Amino acid sequence: MKAIVIGSGLGGLLSAAKLSGSGYEVEVFERLPITGGRFTNIDIKGYQLSTGALHMIPHGPKGPLAQLLREVNADVTIEREDGMAFMRIFEDIGNNIYEDVPFAKFGKVFSLWNRIKLAFLMFTTRKNPPKDRSFAEWLSRHLDAPLAYQMADAFCGWALSLKAEDVPAEEVFEIFENLYRYGGPGVPIGGCKAVTDALADVVRNNGGTIHTEKEVTEIITEDGKATGVIIDGKQHPADLVISNIGHHYTNDLCKGVETDPEYQKYLDRVKAIKPSAGAKICLAASEPLIGHGGVLFTPSARRVNGINEVTNIDPKLAPQGKHLVMAHQTTKWDRIPYLDDEIDLGIKDLEEIFAGKDYEIILTQSHYNGWPVNRSSSGSDIGNTTPIAGLYVVGDGAKGKGGIEVEGIALGVKNTMNLILE
Protein backbone atom coordinates (compact mmCIF):
# COMPACT_ATOMS: atom_id res chain seq x y z
CA MET A 1 0.00 0.00 0.00
CA LYS A 2 1.27 3.45 -0.90
CA ALA A 3 0.58 6.70 1.00
CA ILE A 4 1.37 10.20 -0.22
CA VAL A 5 1.67 13.01 2.33
CA ILE A 6 1.18 16.60 1.17
CA GLY A 7 3.38 18.88 3.32
CA SER A 8 6.18 18.16 5.78
CA GLY A 9 4.85 20.05 8.81
CA LEU A 10 4.55 18.31 12.16
CA GLY A 11 1.25 16.59 11.31
CA GLY A 12 2.53 15.38 7.93
CA LEU A 13 5.76 14.01 9.38
CA LEU A 14 4.01 12.34 12.34
CA SER A 15 1.64 10.61 9.89
CA ALA A 16 4.49 9.65 7.55
CA ALA A 17 6.50 8.23 10.47
CA LYS A 18 3.56 6.17 11.71
CA LEU A 19 2.52 4.87 8.27
CA SER A 20 6.08 4.07 7.14
CA GLY A 21 6.54 2.11 10.40
CA SER A 22 3.30 0.22 9.72
CA GLY A 23 4.27 -1.26 6.36
CA TYR A 24 3.18 1.56 4.03
CA GLU A 25 5.37 2.83 1.24
CA VAL A 26 5.42 6.58 2.02
CA GLU A 27 6.34 9.63 -0.03
CA VAL A 28 6.16 13.16 1.45
CA PHE A 29 6.00 16.15 -0.92
CA GLU A 30 6.93 19.58 0.48
CA ARG A 31 6.73 22.76 -1.58
CA LEU A 32 9.44 24.63 0.42
CA PRO A 33 13.20 23.91 0.33
CA ILE A 34 13.05 22.95 4.06
CA THR A 35 11.02 20.46 6.10
CA GLY A 36 9.17 21.19 9.36
CA GLY A 37 6.65 23.85 8.23
CA ARG A 38 5.84 26.14 11.16
CA PHE A 39 7.76 23.88 13.55
CA THR A 40 11.41 24.36 12.70
CA ASN A 41 14.27 26.71 13.62
CA ILE A 42 15.65 29.79 11.89
CA ASP A 43 19.18 30.73 12.96
CA ILE A 44 19.62 34.49 13.36
CA LYS A 45 22.91 35.68 14.91
CA GLY A 46 23.24 32.30 16.67
CA TYR A 47 19.73 32.54 18.23
CA GLN A 48 17.45 29.63 17.30
CA LEU A 49 14.28 31.49 16.33
CA SER A 50 11.47 29.61 14.63
CA THR A 51 9.18 29.53 11.62
CA GLY A 52 6.18 29.50 13.97
CA ALA A 53 6.05 27.86 17.39
CA LEU A 54 7.72 29.25 20.50
CA HIS A 55 9.71 26.01 21.04
CA MET A 56 7.07 24.82 23.52
CA ILE A 57 5.15 21.56 23.70
CA PRO A 58 1.98 22.38 25.66
CA HIS A 59 1.89 19.20 27.83
CA GLY A 60 5.63 18.53 27.91
CA PRO A 61 7.04 15.01 28.24
CA LYS A 62 3.71 13.41 29.27
CA GLY A 63 1.31 14.79 26.67
CA PRO A 64 -0.15 13.26 23.50
CA LEU A 65 2.66 14.54 21.24
CA ALA A 66 5.40 13.13 23.49
CA GLN A 67 3.52 9.80 23.58
CA LEU A 68 3.25 9.67 19.79
CA LEU A 69 6.93 10.61 19.35
CA ARG A 70 7.87 7.68 21.62
CA GLU A 71 5.49 5.37 19.75
CA VAL A 72 7.22 6.06 16.39
CA ASN A 73 10.71 5.93 18.01
CA ALA A 74 11.59 9.56 17.33
CA ASP A 75 14.71 10.53 19.24
CA VAL A 76 13.50 13.67 21.05
CA THR A 77 14.06 14.85 24.63
CA ILE A 78 11.40 17.14 26.10
CA GLU A 79 12.13 18.83 29.43
CA ARG A 80 9.95 20.90 31.68
CA GLU A 81 10.25 22.82 34.91
CA ASP A 82 7.14 21.89 36.90
CA GLY A 83 5.11 24.73 38.38
CA MET A 84 6.87 27.39 36.29
CA ALA A 85 3.88 29.32 34.97
CA PHE A 86 3.02 32.69 36.44
CA MET A 87 0.58 35.55 35.89
CA ARG A 88 2.33 38.93 36.16
CA ILE A 89 -0.17 41.21 37.91
CA PHE A 90 0.83 44.88 37.91
CA GLU A 91 -0.18 47.05 40.86
CA ASP A 92 1.55 50.11 39.42
CA ILE A 93 2.81 49.67 35.87
CA GLY A 94 4.59 53.10 35.73
CA ASN A 95 6.64 52.30 38.83
CA ASN A 96 7.13 48.66 37.81
CA ILE A 97 5.38 47.26 40.91
CA TYR A 98 3.97 43.82 40.26
CA GLU A 99 3.47 40.33 41.66
CA ASP A 100 4.12 37.08 39.76
CA VAL A 101 1.22 34.87 40.86
CA PRO A 102 1.65 31.10 40.25
CA PHE A 103 -0.75 29.97 37.50
CA ALA A 104 -2.07 27.15 39.70
CA LYS A 105 -3.00 29.71 42.42
CA PHE A 106 -4.44 32.42 40.16
CA GLY A 107 -7.59 32.56 42.31
CA LYS A 108 -5.71 34.31 45.13
CA VAL A 109 -6.00 37.69 43.38
CA PHE A 110 -9.81 37.63 43.71
CA SER A 111 -12.09 38.57 46.63
CA LEU A 112 -12.99 35.82 49.12
CA TRP A 113 -16.52 35.61 47.66
CA ASN A 114 -15.20 35.20 44.09
CA ARG A 115 -12.68 32.60 45.31
CA ILE A 116 -15.47 30.54 46.88
CA LYS A 117 -17.54 30.82 43.68
CA LEU A 118 -14.50 29.87 41.60
CA ALA A 119 -13.76 26.75 43.68
CA PHE A 120 -17.40 25.65 43.34
CA LEU A 121 -17.44 26.35 39.59
CA MET A 122 -14.21 24.48 39.00
CA PHE A 123 -15.64 21.46 40.76
CA THR A 124 -19.05 21.48 39.05
CA THR A 125 -17.84 22.30 35.52
CA ARG A 126 -15.49 19.32 35.54
CA LYS A 127 -18.58 17.14 35.72
CA ASN A 128 -20.86 19.28 33.54
CA PRO A 129 -18.84 21.42 31.12
CA PRO A 130 -20.78 24.40 29.77
CA LYS A 131 -22.02 24.28 26.16
CA ASP A 132 -23.08 26.72 23.43
CA ARG A 133 -21.29 29.83 24.66
CA SER A 134 -17.86 31.37 24.53
CA PHE A 135 -15.46 31.18 27.45
CA ALA A 136 -15.82 34.97 27.96
CA GLU A 137 -19.66 34.66 28.08
CA TRP A 138 -19.38 31.84 30.58
CA LEU A 139 -17.05 33.92 32.78
CA SER A 140 -19.28 36.99 32.65
CA ARG A 141 -22.21 34.94 33.96
CA HIS A 142 -20.30 33.71 36.97
CA LEU A 143 -17.53 36.08 38.02
CA ASP A 144 -17.67 39.80 38.62
CA ALA A 145 -13.93 40.52 38.36
CA PRO A 146 -12.38 42.42 35.38
CA LEU A 147 -9.01 40.79 36.12
CA ALA A 148 -10.60 37.39 35.44
CA TYR A 149 -11.33 38.45 31.81
CA GLN A 150 -7.80 39.76 31.38
CA MET A 151 -6.41 36.46 32.71
CA ALA A 152 -8.71 34.47 30.43
CA ASP A 153 -7.59 36.56 27.44
CA ALA A 154 -3.92 36.10 28.39
CA PHE A 155 -4.35 32.32 28.66
CA CYS A 156 -6.41 31.94 25.45
CA GLY A 157 -4.13 34.40 23.61
CA TRP A 158 -0.98 32.54 24.57
CA ALA A 159 -2.28 28.98 24.20
CA LEU A 160 -4.66 29.37 21.24
CA SER A 161 -3.98 32.82 19.78
CA LEU A 162 -7.61 33.75 20.35
CA LYS A 163 -9.54 36.09 22.62
CA ALA A 164 -11.64 34.35 25.29
CA GLU A 165 -14.75 35.63 23.43
CA ASP A 166 -13.70 33.62 20.35
CA VAL A 167 -13.23 30.21 22.02
CA PRO A 168 -16.14 27.91 22.93
CA ALA A 169 -16.21 27.39 26.73
CA GLU A 170 -16.50 23.66 26.09
CA GLU A 171 -13.11 23.64 24.32
CA VAL A 172 -11.44 25.58 27.15
CA PHE A 173 -12.75 23.11 29.74
CA GLU A 174 -11.44 20.19 27.63
CA ILE A 175 -8.07 21.98 27.62
CA PHE A 176 -8.15 22.43 31.43
CA GLU A 177 -8.95 18.71 31.76
CA ASN A 178 -5.86 17.90 29.67
CA LEU A 179 -3.78 20.24 31.85
CA TYR A 180 -4.88 18.25 34.94
CA ARG A 181 -4.19 15.00 33.07
CA TYR A 182 -0.81 15.71 31.43
CA GLY A 183 0.61 18.80 33.15
CA GLY A 184 2.08 21.99 31.71
CA PRO A 185 4.51 22.81 28.91
CA GLY A 186 7.99 21.57 28.15
CA VAL A 187 10.75 22.48 25.71
CA PRO A 188 12.23 20.04 23.19
CA ILE A 189 16.02 20.09 23.50
CA GLY A 190 17.23 21.64 20.23
CA GLY A 191 13.90 23.46 19.76
CA CYS A 192 11.17 22.73 17.19
CA LYS A 193 13.69 21.56 14.58
CA ALA A 194 14.86 18.73 16.84
CA VAL A 195 11.31 17.31 16.74
CA THR A 196 10.65 17.59 13.00
CA ASP A 197 14.20 16.48 12.08
CA ALA A 198 13.86 13.42 14.33
CA LEU A 199 10.57 12.54 12.60
CA ALA A 200 12.12 13.01 9.14
CA ASP A 201 14.90 10.60 10.23
CA VAL A 202 12.28 8.04 11.30
CA VAL A 203 10.51 8.30 7.92
CA ARG A 204 13.78 7.82 6.00
CA ASN A 205 14.95 4.98 8.28
CA ASN A 206 11.62 3.24 7.65
CA GLY A 207 12.28 3.44 3.89
CA GLY A 208 10.09 6.49 3.19
CA THR A 209 11.07 9.40 0.93
CA ILE A 210 10.79 13.14 1.57
CA HIS A 211 10.94 15.47 -1.44
CA THR A 212 11.40 19.22 -0.95
CA GLU A 213 10.54 21.93 -3.50
CA LYS A 214 7.74 19.73 -4.83
CA GLU A 215 4.36 21.44 -4.73
CA VAL A 216 1.24 19.33 -5.10
CA THR A 217 -1.06 21.12 -7.56
CA GLU A 218 -3.94 18.64 -7.66
CA ILE A 219 -5.36 15.69 -5.74
CA ILE A 220 -6.58 13.09 -8.26
CA THR A 221 -10.00 11.62 -7.46
CA GLU A 222 -11.82 8.78 -9.22
CA ASP A 223 -15.36 7.64 -8.29
CA GLY A 224 -15.21 9.55 -4.97
CA LYS A 225 -11.82 8.15 -3.98
CA ALA A 226 -8.38 9.81 -3.82
CA THR A 227 -6.01 7.95 -6.12
CA GLY A 228 -2.92 10.15 -6.17
CA VAL A 229 -1.56 13.66 -6.68
CA ILE A 230 -0.15 15.80 -9.49
CA ILE A 231 3.24 17.52 -9.16
CA ASP A 232 4.95 19.41 -12.01
CA GLY A 233 2.24 18.07 -14.33
CA LYS A 234 3.11 14.44 -13.48
CA GLN A 235 0.70 11.94 -11.84
CA HIS A 236 1.84 10.13 -8.68
CA PRO A 237 -0.60 7.30 -7.88
CA ALA A 238 -1.34 6.29 -4.26
CA ASP A 239 -3.85 4.29 -2.20
CA LEU A 240 -4.05 7.00 0.44
CA VAL A 241 -3.51 10.78 0.45
CA ILE A 242 -2.80 12.56 3.74
CA SER A 243 -2.99 16.34 3.53
CA ASN A 244 -1.12 18.49 6.05
CA ILE A 245 -2.41 21.81 4.70
CA GLY A 246 -5.84 22.15 6.31
CA HIS A 247 -9.30 21.47 4.86
CA HIS A 248 -9.50 24.77 3.01
CA TYR A 249 -6.35 24.37 0.88
CA THR A 250 -6.95 20.62 0.51
CA ASN A 251 -10.35 21.37 -1.02
CA ASP A 252 -8.70 23.83 -3.45
CA LEU A 253 -6.62 20.90 -4.79
CA CYS A 254 -9.64 18.63 -5.42
CA LYS A 255 -11.17 19.14 -8.87
CA GLY A 256 -14.56 18.06 -10.20
CA VAL A 257 -16.09 16.90 -6.91
CA GLU A 258 -18.10 19.99 -5.96
CA THR A 259 -21.35 18.77 -7.55
CA ASP A 260 -21.73 15.92 -5.06
CA PRO A 261 -24.34 16.95 -2.38
CA GLU A 262 -22.27 15.36 0.43
CA TYR A 263 -19.29 17.38 -0.75
CA GLN A 264 -21.39 20.56 -0.70
CA LYS A 265 -22.26 19.95 2.98
CA TYR A 266 -18.56 19.43 3.71
CA LEU A 267 -17.70 22.66 1.86
CA ASP A 268 -20.15 24.61 4.04
CA ARG A 269 -18.32 23.34 7.13
CA VAL A 270 -14.93 24.16 5.57
CA LYS A 271 -16.06 27.73 4.82
CA ALA A 272 -16.85 28.28 8.52
CA ILE A 273 -13.27 27.47 9.60
CA LYS A 274 -11.19 30.54 10.49
CA PRO A 275 -7.42 30.43 11.01
CA SER A 276 -6.12 32.10 14.19
CA ALA A 277 -3.68 34.96 13.72
CA GLY A 278 -0.91 36.30 15.94
CA ALA A 279 2.46 37.99 16.24
CA LYS A 280 5.71 37.05 17.89
CA ILE A 281 8.44 39.38 19.15
CA CYS A 282 11.85 37.74 19.67
CA LEU A 283 14.33 39.28 22.09
CA ALA A 284 18.02 38.65 22.63
CA ALA A 285 19.06 39.33 26.22
CA SER A 286 22.36 39.38 28.07
CA GLU A 287 20.64 38.44 31.35
CA PRO A 288 17.59 36.27 32.16
CA LEU A 289 14.48 38.42 31.76
CA ILE A 290 12.01 35.99 33.35
CA GLY A 291 14.41 33.49 34.93
CA HIS A 292 12.56 30.18 34.37
CA GLY A 293 11.69 27.78 31.56
CA GLY A 294 7.91 28.05 31.82
CA VAL A 295 5.45 30.78 30.81
CA LEU A 296 4.93 34.29 32.11
CA PHE A 297 1.35 35.31 31.32
CA THR A 298 0.85 39.07 31.04
CA PRO A 299 -2.86 39.85 31.63
CA SER A 300 -2.18 43.55 32.33
CA ALA A 301 -0.46 44.14 28.98
CA ARG A 302 -2.15 45.89 26.03
CA ARG A 303 -1.29 43.18 23.50
CA VAL A 304 1.34 40.68 24.72
CA ASN A 305 -0.38 37.59 26.17
CA GLY A 306 2.64 35.72 27.45
CA ILE A 307 6.40 35.36 27.29
CA ASN A 308 8.87 32.48 27.55
CA GLU A 309 12.61 32.16 27.93
CA VAL A 310 13.48 28.75 26.57
CA THR A 311 17.23 29.16 27.17
CA ASN A 312 16.59 28.43 30.86
CA ILE A 313 15.90 24.84 29.69
CA ASP A 314 18.13 24.60 26.61
CA PRO A 315 20.96 27.19 26.73
CA LYS A 316 22.07 26.14 23.22
CA LEU A 317 19.08 27.95 21.71
CA ALA A 318 21.16 31.17 22.06
CA PRO A 319 24.87 32.03 21.87
CA GLN A 320 26.78 31.18 25.05
CA GLY A 321 25.72 33.27 28.06
CA LYS A 322 22.79 34.87 26.18
CA HIS A 323 19.03 34.34 26.48
CA LEU A 324 16.28 33.92 23.89
CA VAL A 325 12.98 35.44 25.01
CA MET A 326 9.82 35.21 22.90
CA ALA A 327 6.58 37.13 23.42
CA HIS A 328 3.32 36.06 21.78
CA GLN A 329 0.17 38.10 21.11
CA THR A 330 -3.05 37.18 19.40
CA THR A 331 -4.33 39.35 16.54
CA LYS A 332 -8.07 39.71 16.22
CA TRP A 333 -9.27 39.11 12.65
CA ASP A 334 -10.38 42.72 12.16
CA ARG A 335 -6.89 43.93 13.22
CA ILE A 336 -4.99 41.91 10.57
CA PRO A 337 -4.81 44.99 8.25
CA TYR A 338 -3.11 46.88 11.12
CA LEU A 339 -0.41 44.37 12.06
CA ASP A 340 2.37 46.99 12.28
CA ASP A 341 0.34 48.95 14.86
CA GLU A 342 -0.41 45.74 16.76
CA ILE A 343 3.30 44.85 16.92
CA ASP A 344 4.19 48.42 18.03
CA LEU A 345 1.75 48.04 20.94
CA GLY A 346 3.39 44.69 21.82
CA ILE A 347 6.82 46.36 21.78
CA LYS A 348 5.51 49.07 24.16
CA ASP A 349 4.23 46.32 26.48
CA LEU A 350 7.67 44.73 26.56
CA GLU A 351 9.33 48.08 27.31
CA GLU A 352 7.12 48.32 30.41
CA ILE A 353 7.38 44.67 31.45
CA PHE A 354 11.18 44.66 31.11
CA ALA A 355 11.83 48.29 32.11
CA GLY A 356 15.55 48.80 32.85
CA LYS A 357 16.57 45.38 31.45
CA ASP A 358 19.23 44.90 28.77
CA TYR A 359 17.72 43.36 25.64
CA GLU A 360 17.47 43.84 21.89
CA ILE A 361 14.60 42.95 19.51
CA ILE A 362 16.03 40.58 16.91
CA LEU A 363 12.88 39.69 14.98
CA THR A 364 9.17 40.42 14.85
CA GLN A 365 6.91 37.99 12.96
CA SER A 366 3.25 38.02 12.05
CA HIS A 367 1.22 34.92 11.28
CA TYR A 368 -2.12 34.86 9.47
CA ASN A 369 -4.03 33.41 6.47
CA GLY A 370 -1.82 30.77 4.76
CA TRP A 371 0.87 30.84 7.48
CA PRO A 372 -1.27 31.33 10.60
CA VAL A 373 -0.89 30.31 14.24
CA ASN A 374 -3.51 27.58 13.72
CA ARG A 375 -5.13 26.75 10.36
CA SER A 376 -8.34 26.08 12.23
CA SER A 377 -8.95 28.17 15.34
CA SER A 378 -9.48 25.99 18.42
CA GLY A 379 -13.06 24.86 18.75
CA SER A 380 -13.74 25.15 14.99
CA ASP A 381 -11.91 21.97 13.90
CA ILE A 382 -14.05 19.66 11.76
CA GLY A 383 -12.15 16.39 12.08
CA ASN A 384 -9.69 14.44 9.94
CA THR A 385 -11.93 12.85 7.30
CA THR A 386 -13.27 14.28 4.04
CA PRO A 387 -16.15 13.04 1.82
CA ILE A 388 -13.45 11.66 -0.51
CA ALA A 389 -12.49 8.11 0.48
CA GLY A 390 -8.77 7.72 1.19
CA LEU A 391 -8.24 11.49 1.67
CA TYR A 392 -7.49 12.61 5.24
CA VAL A 393 -6.47 15.98 6.70
CA VAL A 394 -3.95 16.24 9.58
CA GLY A 395 -2.14 19.13 11.27
CA ASP A 396 -3.49 22.17 13.08
CA GLY A 397 -6.29 22.47 10.54
CA ALA A 398 -7.75 19.24 11.98
CA LYS A 399 -6.89 19.01 15.66
CA GLY A 400 -8.31 16.61 18.22
CA LYS A 401 -10.70 18.02 20.86
CA GLY A 402 -9.12 19.85 23.80
CA GLY A 403 -5.70 19.65 22.16
CA ILE A 404 -3.67 22.85 22.43
CA GLU A 405 -1.75 23.42 19.19
CA VAL A 406 0.78 20.60 18.61
CA GLU A 407 -0.99 18.41 21.19
CA GLY A 408 -4.13 18.83 19.08
CA ILE A 409 -2.10 17.84 16.01
CA ALA A 410 -0.93 14.66 17.77
CA LEU A 411 -4.52 13.82 18.83
CA GLY A 412 -5.72 14.36 15.25
CA VAL A 413 -2.95 12.19 13.79
CA LYS A 414 -3.74 9.46 16.34
CA ASN A 415 -7.39 9.60 15.34
CA THR A 416 -6.48 9.41 11.64
CA MET A 417 -4.12 6.49 12.15
CA ASN A 418 -6.81 4.63 14.11
CA LEU A 419 -9.16 5.05 11.14
CA ILE A 420 -6.54 3.89 8.62
CA LEU A 421 -4.69 1.17 10.49
CA GLU A 422 -7.35 -0.51 12.64
Binding site for ligand FAD (CB under 6 A): 6-12, 29-32, 37-39, 52-54, 56-58, 215-216, 244-245, 278, 280, 328, 367, 373-375, 395-396, 405-406, 409
* Cα angle value 357/361/366 (rounded, 5°): 135
Q: List Cα–Cα distances, 187 to 63, 82, 111, 169, 281, in angstroms.
A: 12, 12, 35, 27, 18
Closest distance of CB 321 from ligand FAD, Å: 24
Q: Which is nearer to ligand FAD, 54 or 156 (CB)?
A: 54
Q: Which is nearer to ligand FAD, 309 or 396 (CB)?
A: 396
Q: Which is nearer to ligand FAD, 283 or 373 (CB)?
A: 373
Closest distance of CB 180 from ligand FAD, Å: 18
Closest distance of CB 404 from ligand FAD, Å: 6
The b/e string for 239-260 (b: 16+ C-beta within 10 A; e otherwise) is ebbbbbbbbbbbbebbeebeee
| CA-based nearest residue to 310, from 79, 154, 99 | 79
Q: Within 13 Å of residue 390, how many CA atoms lie on the same side as its CB?
A: 21
Q: In angstroms, rounded to a whole number, what is the distance separating the alpha carbons of residues 180 and 404?
A: 13
Q: Which is nearer to ligand FAD, 130 or 395 (CB)?
A: 395
Closest distance of CB 108 from ligand FAD, Å: 27
Q: List Cα–Cα distances, 78 to 67, 138, 169, 288, 356, in angstroms.
A: 11, 34, 29, 21, 33
Q: Which long-range contacts (CB under 8 A, 24 or more apart) does 396-402 make?
A: 396/11, 396/246, 397/245, 397/246, 397/247, 397/248, 397/273, 398/11, 398/246, 398/247, 399/374, 400/64, 401/171, 401/174, 402/171, 402/174, 402/175, 402/177, 402/178
Closest distance of CB 328 from ligand FAD, Å: 6
Task: Quickly count: other Cβ atoms within 10 Å of residue 417's Cβ.
Answer: 22
Q: Which is nearer to ligand FAD, 232 or 268 (CB)?
A: 232
Backbone angles phi, psi at 243, to 5 degrees: -105, 130
* CA end-to-end span of the chain: 15
Q: Which is nearer to ligand FAD, 55 or 148 (CB)?
A: 55
Residue 251: DSSP 8-state: H
Closest distance of CB 137 from ligand FAD, Å: 26
Closest distance of CB 105 from ligand FAD, Å: 23
Q: Which is nearer to ligand FAD, 215 or 258 (CB)?
A: 215
Q: In angstroms, rounded to a whole number, what is the distance separating the alpha carbons of residues 30 and 9?
A: 9
Q: Which is nearer to ligand FAD, 118 or 363 (CB)?
A: 363
Q: Which is nearer to ligand FAD, 140 or 365 (CB)?
A: 365
Closest distance of CB 276 from ligand FAD, Å: 9
Q: Please, are residues 143 and 117 in contact by the beta-carbon 8 Å criterion?
A: yes
Q: Which is nearer to ligand FAD, 157 or 390 (CB)?
A: 157
Q: Which residues contact 116 (CB under 8 A, 6 or more apart)?
A: none
Closest distance of CB 326 from ligand FAD, Å: 8
Q: In angstroms, rounded to a whole number, what is the distance separating the alpha carbons of residues 156 and 255?
A: 37
Closest distance of CB 199 from ligand FAD, Å: 11
Q: Please, are residues 307 and 325 in contact by the beta-carbon 8 Å criterion?
A: yes
